[in-house]
Amino acid sequence: MTKRLNYRIGVVVSRFNDFITQRLLCGCVDELIRRGVSKSSILVVQVPGAWEIPVVAQQLASKKNINAVICLGAVIRGETAHFDIVAQGSCSGIQQAALTTGKPVVLGVLTTENTKQAYERSSDKKRNNKGREAACVALEMIDTLLSLKKI
Ligand code: INI
What residue spans define the domains of the chain? 9-149
Q: How far apart are CA 11 and CA 43, in angstroms?
A: 6
Q: Tell me yes or no: is domain 9-149 CATH 3.30.1490.190.
A: no
Q: What SS3 state is found at 68?
A: strand
Amino acid 80 reads T
Q: Where are the alpha helices (DSSP H) in the chain?
A: 18-34, 53-61, 83-101, 115-120, 130-149
Q: Is 41 in the pocket of ligand 1 (CB under 6 A)?
A: no
Residue 145: how many other CB atoms lie within 10 Å:
14
Q: Which residue has a Cα nearest atom 21 of ligand 1? A: 51
Q: Which residue has a Cα nearest atom 10 of ligand 1? A: 80
Q: Is 80 in the pocket of ligand 1 (CB under 6 A)?
A: yes
Say if CB 70 and CB 135 are below 8 A apart. Answer: yes
Q: How far apart are CA 5 and CA 142, in angstroms?
A: 11
Say if CB 58 and CB 25 are below 8 A apart. Answer: no
Per-residue pLDDT of the chain (151 residues; tens, 9 = 90+): 789 999 999 999 999 999 999 999 999 999 999 999 999 999 999 999 999 999 999 999 999 999 999 999 999 997 667 899 999 999 999 999 999 999 999 999 999 999 999 999 999 887 899 999 999 999 999 999 999 988 8
CA of 50 to the centre of ligand 1 (A): 6
Q: Is 16 in the pocket of ligand 1 (CB under 6 A)?
A: yes
Give the predicted TM-score (pTM) of the model: 0.97
Q: How far apart are CA 40 and CA 53, in angstroms?
A: 22
